[in-house]
Amino acid sequence: MKILIINGPNLNLLGTREPGIYGSRSFESYLQELREMLDGDEIDYLQSNHEGDIIDFLHAADCDGIILNAGAYTHTSLAIADAIAAIQIPVIEVHISNIYSREAIRHTSLIAPVCQGSIAGFGLSSYFLAAQAIIMDTSR
């Protein structure tokens, strides 16, 4: 099983950015643990603060499933939603925080309608839950 994780803007700052919301662990340290937990599955990782890069990552993806944390682009980017709709690979939307317990602007996801599903509010474990969903769905 090959899974691609794509993180959007400001997620390169995990571990130092608003630890009360996002925790104090870097994504790179979690990624190492995630790869160990999903031993036997290939996990690739890309991050960009630029909308066009995220769209290019989606277009070029060659995997069984994508885990996408589009960050703030979740709430603003029709272009990313269109890119998800244009590909055949299932995409699961992920958020570290519970976006529905935050500011009202974060309650609307423009990408959710074109994603296979959404997982939010379980911290970095949201990525593991999304990976499990991809693995379970493709094993049917």
Note whether 82 and 19 are within 8 A (CB). no
> E strands of 1-139, at which residues?
2-7, 42-47, 65-69, 91-95, 117-120
Cα-Cα end-to-end distance for the chain: 13
Reply yes or no on whether 45 is catalytic: no
∠ CA(88), CA(90), CA(92), 5° rounding?
Answer: 145
Residue of 22, 30, 73, 127 marked active site: 22
d(CA 88, CA 49): 24
Q: Which secondary-structure segment (H or E) carries 86?
A: helix 78-86
Reply yes or no on whether 22 is catalytic: yes
Residue of 30, 73, 95, 127 marked active site: 95
**Residues designated as active site:** 22, 95
